[in-house]
Amino acid sequence: MTESPDIIVVGAGVFGLTSALELARRGHSVVVVDPGPIPHPLAASTDISKVVRMEYGKDVQYMEMVEQALPGFRAWNRQFGEPLYHETGVTMFTRQPMAPGQFEYESFHLLKARGHDPQRLQARELQERFPAWSEAYVDGFFHAEGGYVESGRLIAALAREARSLGIEFVEAKATRVGDGTVSLSEGDSLSGGLVLVAAGTWSHLLVPELAPMMRSTGHPVFHLEARDPDLFSPPAFGTFMADVAGTGWYGFPYNPRERVIKVANHGLGLRLHPERDARRVYPDDIESLRSFLAMAFPALADARVVYTRRCVYCDTLDEHFWIDRHPEKPRLAVATGGSGHGMKFAPVLGPLIADAIEGVANPWLERFRWRPLDAATRGEEAARHRA
């Protein structure tokens, strides 16, 4: 291993790998520490798909960040020679007319104000264009800019790219981090100019002073068999959010590689410990899924559940990312707090994190600084269901 590298990155998920790549391109020597394999089977980044959407209610900054991320996803498709990002378009449908203050309404009007072209669909027109949807949905819009990324495969591609640039990987579990130091499970330790903790839901275990501002929450993910794949494939079906702020339900078109339809819930989830607690999907999760499918997609109402997963978020209490140097340890920095919505920003995360480490002015960083949060802090991610 490089003796005393400039940067030791702890974690090889989307925050860790994108920052490692950007820092290496800026001339830093970089070592990545991760227990492996990459993508790690328990990491939030490891999945068959993550939504890529610019819809964030009234939130201009997040929309702007995705506007700049989309060209990066398309460039990665060209660079890696395969379609990891799929621009299926995104459907945002509601069971009542869109109204001011509602996630879909505010998203639609901010898109229009920023020069995008979402297409509003109501009642019968909605079902005619997207026939898998039931008549319970009466309003909403389709936006062609957006879709999903095959997140696990993207992580694997980024790791290959990192190795090709000479970034070294240490396959071990970090047990403690300090000011420029990392202790490993085998009893070894590493030292470098700076340690960047980008360990997802394990970050607040490694940096305990973050624990009051973060929590780990598990969210059910279902992969369904499709008897009629064409009904659930683009252009007849896109990446979707179904009254998401009010119900949490979202999902994806038929995945021809995995031969499943993925449906998941973006809600409060179950509070759990990243290492000690089981990551199970429970019978009441299945019951909620069945109720949703019967109401939204009759053709999937009795679809066989092929497999399930409980995706564990690293939630900050305000649901914004945490990207900053430690205020008291100058050789320690943190990039974490994906809060269930980080992957869609992958192409802009690396430069953002590198700017934070190098002290480069970046207007996006103020929201993600080290900050005081308490139990009264409310989550602000516009699509999150909190009931």
Q: Mean of the per-residue pLDDT values for the chain? A: 97
Q: Mark out the alpha helices in the chain (DSSP H runs).
A: 14-25, 60-80, 103-113, 124-129, 151-164, 203-206, 244-247, 283-296, 346-358
* Residue 1 pLDDT greater than 80, yes or no: no
For residues 291-298, give the mean pLDDT: 98
Digit-coded pLDDT (tens) for 51-78: 999 999 999 999 999 999 999 999 999 9
Predicted confidence band of residue 86 (pLDDT cuts 50, 70, 90): very high
For residues 137-145, give the mean pLDDT: 98
Predicted pLDDT at 2: 64
How long is the chain?
387
* Residue 3 pLDDT greater than 90, yes or no: no
Burial 291-325 (b: 16+ CB within 10 A, else e): ebbebbbeebeebeeeebbbbbbbbbbbbbbbbbb
Residue 310 tokens, joined: 């409980």
Q: Answer whether 239's CB lies under 8 Å from 51's CB.
A: yes
Go through the domains of the chain in sequence order and give each one's CATH number. 87-140+215-316 (3.30.9.10)
Digit-coded pLDDT (tens) for 91-109: 999 999 999 999 999 999 9
Dihedral over alpha carbons 168, 173, 176, 180 (to 10 degrees): 0
DSSP for residue 282? P
